[in-house]
Structure 1
Amino acid sequence: MDKLVLPKEFIDKYQKLLATKASSFFTALEAEPKKAFRLNPLKANYQKVSYDLSEPVNGVEDAYYGEISGRDIEWVNGYVYSQDPSAMYPAEALGVKPGQKVLDLCAAPGGKSTALLSALKNEGLLVANEISASRAKNLRENIERWGASNCLVTNEDTSQLAKKFPHFFDAILVDAPCSGEGMFRKNHDAVTYWSQEYVLECSSRQKEILNEAVKMLKTGGSLLYSTCTYAPEEDEKICAYLVNKLGFKLVKTKVNVASAGVPAWGENLAGIEYARRFWPQDEIGEGQFLAKFILSKASDTEENIDDFKQKNKKRRKKAGKKVEIFTKAEKELVKELLASFNLPVSFDFSKAAKSNDHVYIPAVEDTSQIKVLNNGLELGILKKGRFQPSQQLAQYLGQMQQERVVELQNQAEFEKYLHGETVKTEKKLKGFVLVSYQGKIFSFGKVAGQVVKNFYPKGLRV
């Protein structure tokens, strides 16, 4: 690993802030980063993986230290997610329950969203939002791989999202854009854009995001604020802002690892010791900060909900959006394919809808006025009297043991399929089948004779 060269201003700042503890902090920044991964409890037999599970991440369910490869079947079919161990704790600390409505406001690339989906267990709703279009694309792919059906993926500005979902969510996770000091050890490039001015700029942006986030939270709802920086201006001082300006109360979380928040850095705020600081010398992972809050009073700046709903209704009516008819014949085509596979208990075809010939089961019925990348579970696409199932459906069906499956025989066949090539089978099957490797479903194929036509999406091919 190349030597980490820190800005003098950064060194001076943390020598002053940490005093006698500064030496251990700077020494730890020279150590090798730790790597970890989470297993996906939504998948069938999810603990049957080829990775070493002997070193769990303390206090995080289904999480282990170790390195995984994006070429392994476990990654391709969503059995695992590679994530910095410290970054696993915010979703754990939020403590969501099945059935809740949850927002991951700054969601890409998807580590926290997939953890929240695991906790929801196919019940309730997750809205995973990312303002960057390119990062939102990666977010969508990672959520698709996870195989959940109860997620709305959006690419929207926070203020626009707040107009759409006033006082709607039971829990919100804001992993805010920050100065990235906690990533210095892992990503030396992060050092090049650091300055104290940038820290203050990030702090200002964090407040703007939180001003909108509070509008979307129910009174009594939970907000988890996190960053990957050490800067008090972006951590404890933001906690003070949430309490003093936005009506929040700091509360304890179930996360009891790492170090406590520092009272002197957060206006000696009551409960700041409940916040957790992940320093490199804690030997857990990279730099991270988290704090959990309860909204004790509703935002004074939000419109009345009934008024807002009426305005939304008028906008939709004025827009005159044409509703696509999902015909009985089309429904039968889809049902015929689905009948060949074992469906999770959460599956409800009665809610199925059609848009531009794409058939899906929406997680949110009305998505007007927001940019949506994926809404719930896409089943597939109708093409001239036939129905072609989607990659997301294949990943979703991986939650259950299936019979209509072609099992690839070796690594060479698996790699051929990832390349987009056909493979052969001796199974007496015809039509669409699920394709798996090492017992793990990852795609659809279509059997004609002894050939399995490749339906692994072109955008994912290696």
Structure 2
Amino acid sequence: MVQLNQNFINSIAKDMPSHLTMDDFIAYCDKPLRASIRVNTLKIGVDEFLTLMQEKGWQFEPIPWCGSGFWIQVEPDVQLGNTIEHIQGLFYIQEASSMLPPQALFPQGIEDATSLTLLDMASAPGSKTTQLAMMMQNQGVLVANEYSSSRVKVLHANVLRMGVKNCALTHFDARVFGEYLYNSFDAILLDAPCSGEGTVRKDPDALKHWDSDEIESIAATQIDLLESALAALKTGGSLVYSTCTLNRLENQEVCLALKSRYGDAVEFESLDNLFVGADKACTPEGFLHVWPQIYDSEGFFVAKIRKVADIARLKPEPKPQKNFPFTAVSKKQQQALSDYFSTFDIKLEQHGTLMQRDDEFWLFPDNILPLIGKIRFQRIGIKLANAIKKGFKVKHEAIIALAKSDRTIPLDELQATQYLMGRDIQLESPTKAQGEQVVSYHGASLGLVKHLGSKLKNNLPRELVKDKICPSNSNNIII
């Protein structure tokens, strides 16, 4: 049963709109949260995914604000996070309300992202980052920042699993962006650290020790972060500020504080037409204040802010950073890499900028180069290959992100399960050995094998081997 602190109830009652009731709020907080997912269109089409999974008994209800998002029902013994389709990145388990901020940033979608430079200021675990990358169709550059060291690892794992190649990871207190990357981004998402009042449906104890003093401290940090975001945003660009909390102090008041400081340089863009029914959660300022009972979801807040005039730097421009460890790949090496990757039907020239560090070859997003030297990156793009004595050795993350042709070895469900559990796959009809090959399931690449004629030798990185794979329906068995 949900644990609602009485002080929280007394406080939130003052912020609740008149057309909503506290009884409904408490009742919905006590209801289990509906399971929801987002189909990853970097790897599979929405209709194709629905057809595949409906055949396995999955039931889908569209989420109104996200064309690739669905509330789902599956058999009780289906563990979504351990299914093949989840492990290979065909979908992301994401709460429905969490899909709102990226949609608010680009309500009409993105027709061409090749020239876009975006920032996700607080990215982990990666739901909104990978949603943005999907909307960008892996074009342009998406800087994904995370302050927590342990959460950076989770973010990186999810970015790779979903086949994202246009991402650059940073690890900073996001208050630095206004200083180091002033006026650099076309659009920014700030899903700010918050008190998490809206998450009570998945964490019944989230509000058990609610304290108003902590709210004031959090709000002060949020204002600093939002001010940094505004400084890092190009004039004419938009930023979305969001939280998974409900109180007005962390939501409307943070945005109004920014407006108070910067006046006519800041405009609020109304979200009342973001989707059919958005007006039910819209505030007088045009923000979305999503209470759990409105859409039977988590509580959430979303505001869209446009920067319409230049603002002064918060601090003097920092000195350029030196000792960047990467250099451009020579024409000779570029041709050799292109020839090697063509054996996997991958055309490197279509994907980004080739860079080299010692014996490592990397693929950078094209328009990351203007940001180099302004701030330190944890990781940029994807690692393509290592140089070896006779050529190159491709990396798993490159295959996951880039290999999308029919020139793969399709596996059935049993074989795909064996592969993800690190096992070799025996072939029924031995043939001539074919060397390095890509294996796939549902048309999306799983990784590399070495075709030895009688079997496929597993080349899945050891750290990605799974101890358990859950069937996608109750008719199959776990091996």
Q: Under a length normalisation based on structure 1, what TM-score does the superposition of the two structures give?
A: 0.87
| Aligned match for 2:461, one of 432, 453, 457 | 457
Q: Is the 8 A contact 1:160 1:370 kept in 2?
A: no
The answer as to whether partners of 1:46 and 1:79 remain within 8 angstroms in 2 is no
Between 213-222 and 373-382, the greater mean CA deviation after superposition: 373-382
In 1: Cα distance, 2:443 partner to 2:294 partner? 38
Bigger shift: residues 139-148 or 381-390: 381-390
C-alpha separation in 2, matches of 1:126 and 1:75? 23
Matched, 1:191 2:217: no
Rounded Cα–Cα distance in structure 2 between residues aligned with 1:234 and 1:293 = 16
Identify the residue that residue 269 of structure 1 maps to in structure 2.
none
Q: 1:93 aligns with which of 94, 98, 104?
A: 104
Distance in 1 (alpha carbons) for counterparts of 2:410 and 2:355: 32
Residue 276 of structure 1 deviates from its aligned partner by 0.7
Structure 2 match to 1:362 = 364
Match of 2:291 among 272, 279, 282: 279
SS of structure 1 residue aligned to 2:463 = helix
- Give the AA of the match of 1:140: H
User: Per-residue deviation at 1:330?
Assistant: 4.6
Aligned length: 438
Alignment of 1:421 onto 2:427: no
Corresponding letter in the other structure for 1:41: T
Paired residue for 2:342, among 339, 343, 346? 339
Q: Is the 8 A contact 1:156 1:371 kept in 2?
A: no
State the SS of the aligned residue for 1:141: helix
> Aligned pair in 2 of structure 1 residues 185, 144: CA closer, same or farther (>3 Å)?
same
Give the match's secondary structure for 1:190.
coil
Structure 1 residue 327, shift from structure 2 partner:
5.5
- Does structure 1 conserve the Cα–Cα contact (< 8 Å) formed by 2:432 and 2:452? no
* Identity between Structure 1 and Structure 2 (%): 28
C-alpha deviation, 1:328, in angstroms: 6.0
Work out which of the residue numbers 368, 376, 379 in structure 1 matches 2:384. 379
Q: CA deviation at 1:222?
A: 0.1
Distance in structure 2 (CA, Å) of the matches to 1:149 and 1:342: 17
* Superposed displacement of residue 453, structure 1: 2.5
SS in 2 for 1:205: helix
- Give the corresponding residue for 1:249: 267
Matched, 1:80 2:91: yes
Give CA-to-partner distance per residue, 1:353-382, whole Å, 9 cap, x none.
112422112122354464434312321222
Matches for 1:4-153 after TM superposition, within 5 Å: 4-18=2-16, 21-45=21-45, 47-49=47-49, 50-51=52-53, 52=58, 54-66=60-72, 69-95=80-106, 97=110, 98-99=112-113, 100-153=116-169
Q: Give 1:63's aligned amino acid.
A: G
Give the AA of the match of 2:310.
Answer: A
TM-score of the pair, normalised by structure 2: 0.84
Q: In 2 relative to 1, CA 211–17 (structure 1 residues): closer, same or farther, beyond 3 Å?
A: closer
Check the 8 A contact 1:447/1:453 in 2, yes or no.
yes
Query: What is the aligned-residue RMSD (CA, Å)?
Result: 2.5
1:377-401: CA deviations, max 9, x gaps? 3212223444221222122235x33
What letter matches 2:410 in structure 1? Answer: E
Give the deviation of 1:138 after TM superposition.
1.2
Q: Are 2:179 and 2:313, in contact at CA under 8 Å, matched by a contact in 1?
A: no
Change (3 A) 1:373 1:66: farther
Question: Structure 1 residue 212 and structure 2 residue 212: aligned?
Answer: no
CA contact (8 A) 1:86 1:284 kept: no
Output the CA distance in 2 between the equivalents of 1:325 and 1:300.
35
Which letter maps to 1:339? S
Contact 2:44 2:90 in 1 (8 A): no
| Structure 1 gap segments, 5+ residues each | 264-271
**Structure 1: which amino acid aligns with 2:357?**
S
- How far, CA to CA, are the matches of 1:297 and 1:332 in structure 2? 46
* Counterpart residue type for residue 396 of structure 1: A
Q: Cα–Cα, structure 1 residues 301 and 162, in superposed 2: closer, same or farther, change >3 Å?
A: closer
Aligned to 1:268: none
Looking at structure 2, the residues matched to 5 and 118 of structure 1 have their Cα atoms a distance apart, in angstroms, of 37
Q: 1:454 to 1:27 in 2, by over 3 A?
A: same
Give the Å deviation of 1:444.
Answer: 1.5
> Please, which moves more after superposition, 364-373 or 33-42?
364-373
* Kept after mapping to 2: 8 A contact 1:78/1:395: no
Q: Is the 8 A contact 2:226 2:241 kept in 1?
A: no
Q: Contact between 1:377 and 1:392, CA under 8 Å: does it hold in 2?
A: yes
Q: Match of 1:447?
A: 451
